[in-house]
Amino acid sequence: MHSKNIVHGDIKLDNILYTDRGVLKVTDFGLSSAFKPGALVYGKQGTHGYMAPEIYSANGYNGPPVDVWALGVVLHLLINNKFPFSRKTMKKIVSGKLPFNFEPPTAAGHTCAELLKSMLCLDPMKRISMKEILVHPFMKTKSHGPSKRTCDSESADSGPSKRLCKSKGSSQNIRSHEDKKSEEEIMVEPAKKNRIPGPKKRGRDSEGVDLRQRKRLCKSKGTDSL
């Protein structure tokens, strides 16, 4: 995607699908855009909790490192079951009120922790690229294959990792149940206006008499004819 000069702009768990063959697919390109190498992007877009720190500044930013940061947040969620930074913490870091201090979890091993630290790097110029991620030692870790459990299984684990799963033979995107404030999207579509249906008009004959009322009168006389 980046090799074709396209930045996704909104990578998150809700936009990643997991097929029954163990293939990951990225969806929802509503905020994606083309970019020129070296050219800066302006404007805040994405989902809070996944947005790179440079997005909050007004100085512009490069597109690809933003996707790398968001993907690092996804990896952190799958391993540690929580966001690495809250929205308030990130704003304090950007404004200089709070120093940037990130210690990656070691639950998945030191190789994974090293990758996380390079993905969630404050300086976008020093942040690892997608090409470098693909050849990182962590990517060579052997996988046991996709889980055979389904999303609606009562024994399925809870947490963000539950969102990447297989349900009834097809990929299904499970909504996040974490703090909704941290995942509040900046770009929101206007709500659709719901039309409230009015009362149905009663049918009337040529003389203006209510047909249902006339039918009831006819039935009381022992006939259904109008």
- Domain boundaries, given as residue ranges, for the chain: 2-142+159-183
Q: 133 falls in which pLDDT band (50, 70, 90)?
A: very high
pLDDT in the model for residue 207: 56
What are the residues whose beta carbons fall under 8 Å from the beta carbon of 202, sequence distance 6 or more? Answer: 210, 211, 212
Rounded alpha-carbon distances, angstroms, from residue 150 to 13, 115, 169, 174: 17, 29, 9, 12
Copy the structure tokens of residue 184: 């509040």
Q: What is the pLDDT of residues 141-198, one digit of tens each?
A: 765 454 444 444 333 444 554 445 443 333 333 333 344 444 444 443 333 333 444 4
User: Which of 211, 206, 208 minimizes the C-alpha distance to 224?
Assistant: 211
**What is the CA 220 to chain-centroid distance, rounded?**
63
Q: What is the mean pLDDT of residues 18-40?
A: 81
DSSP 8-state assignment for residue 72: H
Asked about 10 being catalytic, the answer comes back as yes
**Residue-level pLDDT at 169:** 35
Catalytic residue among 10, 20, 205, 224: 10
CATH of 2-142+159-183 given 3.40.250.10, 3.30.390.10, 1.10.510.10, 3.90.226.10:
1.10.510.10
